[in-house]
């Protein structure tokens, strides 16, 4: 999708759409389960099912590259878990930012593909905003489900 929109660099789609792809589901899972470590559990399950269907970003070599999916989404879930409550918007933003950073490091270290330096700040800022938007959307969906449940 990022290539179709001509977004620069590896994982640019995560920077722009990570809040909708990852954060909303992990945050919603944490909210609906109301369990401690629910965000981390949902994140690891999300990563596991994702790499079961397809390698992380379609990369087959090195063979362990998909482990970065588990690590990146685990850290995302951890941020959501740590900032649960009034600061959850920050948790979503930092979570998506961390997910993007880990993915960038994986691309850079193993494939020597780094984001263009002139776009790094824009992509990091977009990533944080996308993460906060994901939490806001999860919050809205949770309120809807709570009303329907009554």
pLDDT for position 6:
73
Q: In which residue are the tokens 């990091």 written?
A: 124
The torsion region of residue 83 among left (phi > 0), alpha (psi -120 to 50) and beta comes to alpha
Tens-binned pLDDT, residue by residue, of the chain (150 aa): 556 667 788 889 889 999 999 999 999 999 989 899 999 999 999 999 989 888 888 888 888 889 999 999 999 999 999 999 889 999 999 999 999 999 999 999 999 999 999 999 999 999 999 999 999 999 999 999 888 877
Q: Could you tell me if 95 and 129 are in contact, meaning their C-beta atoms sit under 8 angstroms apart?
A: no
E strands present in the chain: none
pLDDT for position 100:
96
Model pTM score: 0.90
């Amino acid at each position: 999708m990022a290539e179709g929109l001509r977004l620069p660099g590896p994982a640019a789609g995560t920077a722009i759409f990570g809040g909708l792809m990852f954060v909303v589901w992990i945050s919603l899972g944490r909210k609906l389960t109301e369990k401690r470590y629910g965000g981390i559990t949902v994140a690891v399950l999300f990563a596991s099912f994702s790499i079961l269907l397809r390698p992380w970003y379609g990369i087959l070599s090195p063979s362990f590259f998909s482990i970065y999916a588990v690590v990146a989404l685990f850290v995302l879930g951890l941020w959501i878990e740590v900032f649960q409550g009034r600061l959850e918007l920050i948790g979503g933003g930092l979570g998506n930012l961390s997910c993007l950073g880990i993915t960038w490091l994986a691309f850079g270290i193993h494939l020597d593909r780094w984001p263009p330096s002139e776009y790094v700040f824009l992509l990091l800022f977009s990533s944080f905003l996308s993460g906060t938007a994901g939490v806001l959307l999860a919050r809205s969906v949770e309120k809807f489900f709570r009303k329907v449940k009554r």
